[in-house]
Structure 1
Amino acid sequence: MECSGPDTGHDFFVPVETEIKLQFLEDLGDRAFRSALRNAVGPVIPRCLRRHLVSTYYDTGTRDLAARNCTLRLRRVGDARTQTLKIPMKAVSGKNIGLQTYHEFESPADGQRPDLSQLAVSNKVIAWLRQCEPALKPVFTTDIRRTIWLVQQNVSQIELAWDRGDIQAEGRVEPVNELELELKSGSRSDLLDLAASLVEHLPVRLGDATKAERGDALAHDQDPVAVRSSALHLPGKTPISDAFRRCVADCIGQMRANERGIRAGGNPEAVHQFRVALRRLRAVISTCRDIVDEDVYAHWQADLRWAHQAFGRARDLDVLAGATLAPLQRQLPEDRDIAAFAQLVAETREQAHRQARSAIEEKRYTLVLLDIAQRLDAADWGRRSAAATAALPAREFAVARLQRRFKKVRNLSEKWSRLTAAERHRLRIHVKKLRYMTNSFASLFPTRVTRYFQQGLERLQDVLGALNDAWVGRQYVQDLTGVAIGSGSLTETAALRLRALFAGWHRRGIADCDQQFDTAWRAFAAQRRFWKT
């Protein structure tokens, strides 16, 4: 059975749960944790409560609840049972960046299955649930030992819960060791402040999935997948300040969606899509620099540049291995020098991926995400002297910047055959930024014209990207064959032969790109500039 899904809007008051999850990077004993907690929240720690929570999560065979990010669970605490339905709220700077906000419906439960009639939900939601009810079945369970402190943070009361236990599904088990910060009263800003303080003093990172999401993936034995960006819709009269917040949250959402694939390893596409999202984010912040506070801009760009550099080597080596080395190995399968070089590339590539995995577990990465979340939530990122500009309609703001970036692309593209390597690199950056700007603001303009422009721009970026990959690949071959000579895995003669072989391969690729660029540029230049319609 497949359910059509609810309209989760409500015309009456319902409880709202707002929380942040922090996952431990290493086991921590009670004494060490309490010491760190004192540093984070102050010397006086409130008395704690301890509970043993055993929960069963339900869904249909076609995963209708999970598909809509809804959760239905039956929880036992001692002899008492409660049932809870969670429906996500839409928020610009919410779950994408770390805050998880839900409508939460809870009621006592008497039996071994949820009794949906006891949930005080709207008629639309209950109709959807009753449609799903015949197909509901247990999917996974969690067994959690929870320690709870009620912490005062400025004007806010926050429940800090340390959860240790496991998720069990289909004979598979995944450990749980995380902190859950739930805002009981007060401001989201205080919640984010406490989270940042805990990150400073504990070996934790921002959680990338709820227990429900982790349990669903475990039950269906799903490996993390790479997540591409999706179309962003901006309402027609959106002011640029609101468009900025939406674009930033969308970019971070794509980054965070690829974190699990990066941590799992063996997923080059997740690394690539993370870098794409990171470049999109930096481009959005750069495009809106005139309305962003100077100190905020400098801080965000410095931390995001660091993260981008941490992932650069992994992506470059993925391209070298997949686009150059693999085809050569297929053509020369018996070549021992290529095989020895391939082994060195594989080892270097794994080191680069470990560096990338390490970067997303660094405090610096988590803290910049929390800082962005807090500033977006509190509208504390703007330049005061640019308030009038920030209030402009996003479309009006975008037109001038799209035209300015297009002119830079056109001026360099028309001199393509005479450009130096540095100028071609600069052109690639302009094309990339124009594409990210176009994708961010596309929904504000006529769809058909915009789509053709995007397609031409994508082709142009592909050609320039392939050209850049060839140049970067040549440098990596030069450097790595030097390492191989030093380690004794290649002789100097073999290294020189490989350099010549790869140089020939890359020269052919560069020549192809030269020819393809002229065609791609003519096709793109013929497209109407959608912001002039």
Structure 2
Amino acid sequence: MSRRTPSSPPASAADGPAQPQETELKLALPGADPARIGEQLAALPGLAGVRVSEQRLTNTYFDTPDQALHRARAALRIRRLETDGAPVRWLQTLKTADGASGGLSQRGEWETPLADHALDRTALQATPPWAALDADGALWPQLAPAFATEATRTLRALPGADGSRIELVLDIGRVRAPAATSVDGASAELSVDLCELELELLEGQPDALFALADQIAQHIPVLPASLSKAERGWRLLAGTSHAPRRARTPPLTRQMTVTAAAQAVLGEALGQFLDNLGGILHADGSELVHQARVGWRRWRSALWLFKPLLGAHPLPHGAALGPLLKALGSTRDLDVAGLESLPLWSDAYVDGDPERAEQWQAMEAAVLAERRIRRAGLLAVLQTPPTGRALLQLERWLHALPQAVAQTEGAQAPLAQWARERTQRLHRRLKHEVRELDTSANAPEAPGANDHASEHQHRVRLLAKRTRYVLQGLAEVLPERRTRRWAEQATELQTRIGAARDLMLLATLLEPIGVDRAILGFLRGVAAGRLADG
């Protein structure tokens, strides 16, 4: 059985044998032409003239009918490897998912040469993970092919920073899975394309991967990507290849350090943001845009939560992400208008009048056309080098967080007390702002009062969102009853103010795209009435 070279220092004899580990940074290539991307890479500074080797890979992934390995976050495959001038090689690989942050993943990996395409049970049983996965031997007889990947792979061995060694891999191919058999007995094949870079650490520290990725990102659009090829296969089978990535509860404990919690909470939020950006590249779904913005707001909320810890570790300058965030916001505005706000008022406006029905239909067509324009703008921003580079810098910052703040006061303190104090402070602030908002609403109207009230409502709404996201992120370590009550209060407040504000801004949003003035007047009247009632 062969092993990957561990990227971390070897364990001492007292610690036992080191686990073989694969450390890699995976990058999607937004907008790349598979026929040209190899030439573009070869022309980059630092890559020109580097020797390139080529392989043809076919990987068959195995699991049980109930996906026992997938549920355990493990993957078992047989690889058929072809290299010009060399005999075909067969390799059996078992991988376990130890951890991932955006594009950077660290996994256990055990690799065994095979004589042919049949699984080797003896070699599998010799790996510690398999002994735990199949302690009673029940899984082995159930293993069967689930899906396959095929790719042409080009490889470059490169020196990295601080004496590291990196393998730069370009994979172009596809993931294939059998489709369900139809009633007439016919079957088809499902597939999704692959075009991605993998930077694998052969020796040295993981930051060297980010340094090389940054060099590439200065010239070629990239996007940190967390999905393995195995996970792509499972999503293909499930019909969820481009499904939105919703918030997940980070795996926190009351005893873990504040630093470890910060990396977990921030990493989960950034992962949600990046995964949905990846989905946007391949599917036109309003929920992908919405969940990307949720991920970003959760990221910003987590930055507030751990702000006392982060003074020693300043964030990268975020100006390069401005166009992306603006494009996400403008696209989401049209989604809310077209899919949520306007349908509620269609019948009230038309009221059986054919002329009004025609005006409303023209407005709906204008909104749809404008949304297409905004989506095209969003895709264009995602396919620019500055966007990918800025996202990589966030990943790099997050990876360096534990070491950068190690000596900061409170960094190694248990999470539980920190979480209670920070959430109580946030809740007190929200209560204060709500009281101020209520006081303003009952005060005599003064010049400019409406504008001031609108701004105040917006601040309260954002604070309610922050409160909800922070409470959700820390749910595992906070008192359950109080946390649920506070979260429900924040959600109700956010929803109530949000509905009024969405209506108030709707006419302003629609006016530039040429919507009939009668509709604009109607929407402004509805908004004024809702605000007065609120």
User: So what's the TM-score if we normalise by structure 2?
Assistant: 0.82
Query: Deviation string for 1:362-399 (max 9, x for gaps)?
Result: 33333233223323323378579x82143444444444
Task: Answer yes or no: is the 8 Å Cα contact 2:101–2:395 preserved in 1.
Answer: no
For 1:311-460, list aligned pairs within 5 A.
Answer: 311-330=328-347, 332=350, 334=354, 335-379=357-401, 382=404, 387-417=408-438, 418-419=440-441, 420-460=453-493
Give the drift of 1:83.
0.9
Closer, same or farther: CA 336–372 of 1 in aligned 2, 3 Å: same
Query: Deviation string for 1:12-58 (max 9, x for gaps)?
Result: 5331011122233322264433111xx1x36652x232222222122
For 1:148-159, list aligned pairs within 5 A.
Answer: 148-154=155-161, 155-159=163-167
More helix by share: 1
Look up the match of 2:12.
Answer: none
Structure 1 residue identity aligned to 2:428:
K
Give the drift of 1:336.
0.3
Task: Compare 355-364 and 461-470 and name the one that shifted more.
Answer: 355-364
Mapped pair 1:471 → 2:516: no
Give the drift of 1:265.
3.0
Look up the match of 1:289.
Answer: 307
Closer, same or farther: CA 149–71 of 1 in aligned 2, 3 Å: same
Query: Deviation string for 1:315-335 (max 9, x for gaps)?
Result: 111111122222333553850
Aligned residue pair count: 482
Query: Deviation string for 1:196-236 (max 9, x for gaps)?
Result: 21122234332342222223333444342222212234221
Query: Deviation string for 1:379-437 (max 9, x for gaps)?
Result: 378579x8214344444444444344333322232243424222122221222222222
Task: Answer yes or no: is the 8 Å Cα contact 1:405–1:434 preserved in 2.
Answer: yes
Look up the match of 1:49.
Answer: 53
Structure 1 residue identity aligned to 2:332:
R
Look up the match of 1:62.
Answer: 66
SS of 1:411's equivalent in the other structure is: helix
Task: Answer yes or no: is the 8 Å Cα contact 1:240–1:391 preserved in 2.
Answer: yes
The CA RMSD measured in Å over matched residues stands at 2.8
Query: Deviation string for 1:69-109 (max 9, x for gaps)?
Result: 3221111124321111111113xxxx232112211111122
Task: Answer yes or no: is the 8 Å Cα contact 1:116–1:126 preserved in 2.
Answer: no
Task: Answer yes or no: is the 8 Å Cα contact 2:253–2:415 preserved in 1.
Answer: no
**1-structure distance, mates of 2:117, 2:405:** 56
Give the drift of 1:342.
0.6
**2-structure distance, mates of 1:115, 1:457:** 55
Closer, same or farther: CA 361–71 of 1 in aligned 2, 3 Å: farther
- Pick one of 129, 133, 144 that aligns with 1:137: 144
Look up the match of 1:244.
Answer: 262
SS of 1:187's equivalent in the other structure is: coil
Task: Answer yes or no: is the 8 Å Cα contact 2:42–2:48 preserved in 1.
Answer: no
Closer, same or farther: CA 411–178 of 1 in aligned 2, 3 Å: closer
Task: Answer yes or no: is the 8 Å Cα contact 1:375–1:381 preserved in 2.
Answer: no
**1-structure distance, mates of 2:380, 2:93:** 36
Give the drift of 1:338.
0.5
Look up the match of 1:280.
Answer: 298
Query: Deviation string for 1:101-147 (max 9, x for gaps)?
Result: 21111112234332232223126335269433333222222232222
SS of 1:56's equivalent in the other structure is: strand
Structure 2 residue identity aligned to 1:13:
A
For 1:101-180, list aligned pairs within 5 A.
Answer: 101-119=106-124, 120-122=126-128, 124-125=131-132, 127=134, 130-154=137-161, 155-170=163-178, 171-180=189-198
SS of 2:255's equivalent in the other structure is: coil
Structure 1 residue identity aligned to 2:360:
I
Q: Which 5+ residue runs of structure 2 have no aligned equivalent?
A: 1-14, 83-87, 179-188, 442-452
Give the drift of 1:506.
2.7
**1-structure distance, mates of 2:190, 2:157:** 33
Look up the match of 2:528.
Answer: 507
Look up the match of 1:89.
Answer: 98
SS of 1:148's equivalent in the other structure is: strand
Query: Deviation string for 1:141-176 (max 9, x for gaps)?
Result: 223222221111021111112222333333234332
Closer, same or farther: CA 17–365 of 1 in aligned 2, 3 Å: same
**1-structure distance, mates of 2:201, 2:388:** 20
Identity level (%): 26
Closer, same or farther: CA 504–223 of 1 in aligned 2, 3 Å: farther
Query: Deviation string for 1:302-322 (max 9, x for gaps)?
Result: 455554322111111111112
Look up the match of 1:530.
Answer: none
Closer, same or farther: CA 210–366 of 1 in aligned 2, 3 Å: same
For 1:15-54, list aligned pairs within 5 A.
Answer: 15-24=20-29, 25-27=31-33, 28=36, 30-36=38-44, 39=45, 41=46, 45=50, 47-54=51-58
**2-structure distance, mates of 1:260, 1:80:** 33
Task: Answer yes or no: is the 8 Å Cα contact 1:21–1:179 preserved in 2.
Answer: yes
**1-structure distance, mates of 2:150, 2:464:** 51
